Amino acid sequence: MLVCGIIGSSHGQTKNEISLYMQGSFSKLDYEVFQENSDMENGFGFGAGYSYYLSENWSIGTGAELQYFEGSAYLSSVEDVYSTLDMEGEEFEFRYQLKDFRENQYAYYLNVPLKIQYETGNITRFYAAAGAKLGFEIQSEYEASASSLTTSGYYEQYDVELSAPGFSGFGNFGPMNASRLELGLVTNLVLNMEAGVKFMLENDRAFYMGLFLDYGLKDIKPEENQGNLIAYNSEDPVDLMNGSMLSSINNKSFNHYVDEVKTLAFGLKIQYAFQF
C-alpha cells in the first residue's frame, strides 16, 4: 500500500540510478564460546547497485555486493575426552588438552540486497535506507593454533592411562598450527540500515557518504557436524585432525562449543552514482 501510494504521487515520473560503492567496516562472525564473545575484526565490502525512483524522494533498489568477514576466539585451555578405537581396533578413551587455543574464521559472501530509500530535495540531501540482504557463501575457511597439545589414552579394561608412545597418538606434541580448512557456512539473511548525505553533482551524478549497519538474522553455522575438536585417526594416529569449534561438540559438557553464528558489520559507506 505504501509503494502504491508513492507511485500515485509521482505523476508518472521515473528515474534510474546506477551506483558503485565501497564500505569499510568493523565486522565479525558473531558467536559465543563458553560465555566469551568472538572478537571484532576489520572487514570490507564493495558492490554495484540499481535504484528505481518511484518519486523525487522515494526509490527502491537492488544490486550485488561482495562482503568479507572474519571471526576469532581464544580459550586459555580446552579439555575433552571421548571413546574411540586404536590401531588394533581396541576400544579406549582418548583424552586431550589444548593450551592457548585460538581459532580464526574467514568468510566471503555474495549479497543481493533489496531496500527502500528516502531522500530530501535540493543539491545536498539527507538520505535513509532500510531493507534486507540475501547472502550466498562463496568461500569460508578456518585455521586453529595452540601453544601445546597433550594427549593420552585410557584403557578401562586394563585400568591404565598411556601418555606414550608418540606413534600411537599419545604424548606432548608441542605447539599446534593447522593449515586452513573448509568451514562450510550456510546462506545468510541480513537486516540492512544506512543513513547519510547525498551530494548532487553535475551531469546527473551523485556522491553518497554515510554509515551502515548489517545485522545477521539467521544462524549460518555449518550444517555438517564435524564431531570433535581434535579427532583421533586410528589409521594414522600421529595425524591428529582438528575440527572447527563452530561445528564441534565438547563431550564433557555434552554441548556444542558454539550454539549459533551470525554476522555483524557496521562502518562507513561511500558511493558514486549516475542517473538516467
- Domain ranges, ordered by start, for the chain: 2-275
| pTM recorded for the entire structure | 0.87
Q: Is the pLDDT score of 12 beyond 80?
A: no
Q: Which residues of 113-146 are buried (b: 16+ CB within 10 A; e: fewer)?
A: bebbbbbeeeeebebebebebebebeebbbbbeb
In tens, the pLDDT along 204-240 reads: 999 999 999 999 999 999 887 668 899 898 888 888 8
Q: Which CATH class is domain 2-275?
A: mainly beta
Name which of 236, 241, 86, 257 is nearest 176 in CA terms. 241
- Specify whether the backbone of 229 is left (phi greater than 0), alpha (psi in -120 to 50) or beta: alpha
- Give the per-residue pLDDT at 190: 97
pLDDT tens digit string along 249-259? 888 888 888 88
Query: What is the reported pLDDT for 226?
Result: 66
